[in-house]
Amino acid sequence: MVSNSSSFSPKLLRSRSRLSSSDAHSYHTETLLLGETEVSLMKIKQSGKSHYVIFPFTDTGLHISYHPNADPILQEEKTGRNLATLDIASARKLDEKDARSLFQYPRHKSDVLVIPIDSLSIFESMVQRALDIPYPFEILFKNRTVYKVRARTLKEFLASNKGQYVIIDPHQEALLVYGEEFAKIGPMRFGLRGPWGSKRLSKLFSIQNALLDYLNSKNANIKIPEPSYTLVQEWKARLENLFSEVKVLRWCKGGRMKTLPSLYK
């Protein structure tokens, strides 16, 4: 276990670069603090004309390799397994129709959670303290309001409640982002499990999807230190306080509202 104080405030450290004496290889490292422990999340290595994005928090040598005149590959160095390949040829054929396929309103009958936000730039803020578990939720639920909306009435809700929103679609395991500029084409959809947009566009995210699946599997053997008991209790208290303050409203067709039980149980 790692010893941490209750005043924990992780932040993105300055990137560190190191050049070898021959200048044939260069390294760039991104780290975060977990309490007093510095955790390396990503290393970028250049060797000649090849580039590597290395994930040092696993013990399998997980990395993405970029070689001249070749498709990028997600690989395990330890086993030599190729986990995914980015089809550059397909990416070059993408057109406006493919891009528009990423924007769509859900059509199923289940609920979606609609969270009002101040700016779409919140995602940049959220990743700055990725290891401070409550922090991304504190940013996302800053306005302390969540709307439960039937997916088929989402378009009507957004038209009558102008603003910017993050939309969670549990039924399709998707995250949607909406700004008023998307009114005619629908929110931008990022599938957490399923395809992203058209078939050709989905291929563009093949490495990202494979990486997420890999990190969620038992193969990754992630080596991030466990937080201290004190820190975990602090996180729990912050999350309980946050969700006890979040107001949940059922929005019904026609604009009727109904207050629902709190997210905190």
Q: What is the pLDDT of residues 29-47, one digit of tens each?
A: 777 766 667 777 888 888 8
Domain count, the chain: 1
Q: Using one digit for the tens of pLDDT, what is the confidence trace for 58-71?
A: 888 899 999 999 99
Q: 46 lies in a domain? A: no
Q: 101 lies in a domain? A: yes
Percentages of the chain per state (helix, strand, coil), in multiples of 5: 25, 30, 40
Q: β-strands 25-34, 16-19: how paired? A: antiparallel
Q: Using one digit for the tens of pLDDT, what is the confidence trace for 99-142?
A: 888 898 998 999 999 999 999 889 888 877 777 889 999 999 99
Predicted confidence at residue 100, as pLDDT, reads: 87
Q: Which of 246, 241, 238, 240 lies closest to 9 in space, CA to CA?
A: 238
Q: 7 lies in a domain? A: no
Q: 201 lies in a domain? A: no
Structure-model confidence comparison of residues 12 and 79, the more confident one? 79
What percentage of the chain carries pLDDT values higher than 90?
41
Q: Find the mean pLDDT for residues 219-237.
A: 84
Structure-model confidence comparison of residues 96 and 34, the more confident one? 96
**Residue 234: Cβ-neighbour burial (10 angstroms; 0-12, 13-18, 19+):** buried
Domain interval for residue 186: 96-193+230-260
User: Measured between alpha carbons, how far is residue 203 from residues 76, 87, 200, 221 in Å?
Assistant: 20, 7, 5, 27
Q: Are 118 and 144 in contact (CB under 8 A)?
A: no
Predicted confidence at residue 8, as pLDDT, reads: 38
What percentage of the chain carries pLDDT values higher than 70?
86
Q: 155 lies in a domain? A: yes
Neighbouring CB atoms inside 10 A of 218's CB total 5
How far is the C-alpha of 229 from the C-alpha of 217, rounded, in Å? 25
Q: How confident is the model at residue 257 (pLDDT cuts 50, 70, 90)?
A: very high
Q: 158 lies in a domain? A: yes
Q: How confident is the model at residue 25 (pLDDT cuts 50, 70, 90)?
A: low
User: Measured between alpha carbons, how far is residue 34 from residues 3, 11, 132, 225 in Å?
Assistant: 10, 9, 8, 8
How far is the C-alpha of 187 from the C-alpha of 171, rounded, in Å? 16
Predicted confidence at residue 19, as pLDDT, reads: 45
Q: What's 205's DSSP letter?
A: T
Both tokens assigned to 119: 């700016």
Q: Are 192 and 175 in contact (CB under 8 A)?
A: yes
How far is the C-alpha of 71 from the C-alpha of 89, rounded, in Å? 9
**What residue has token string 């290891």?**
131
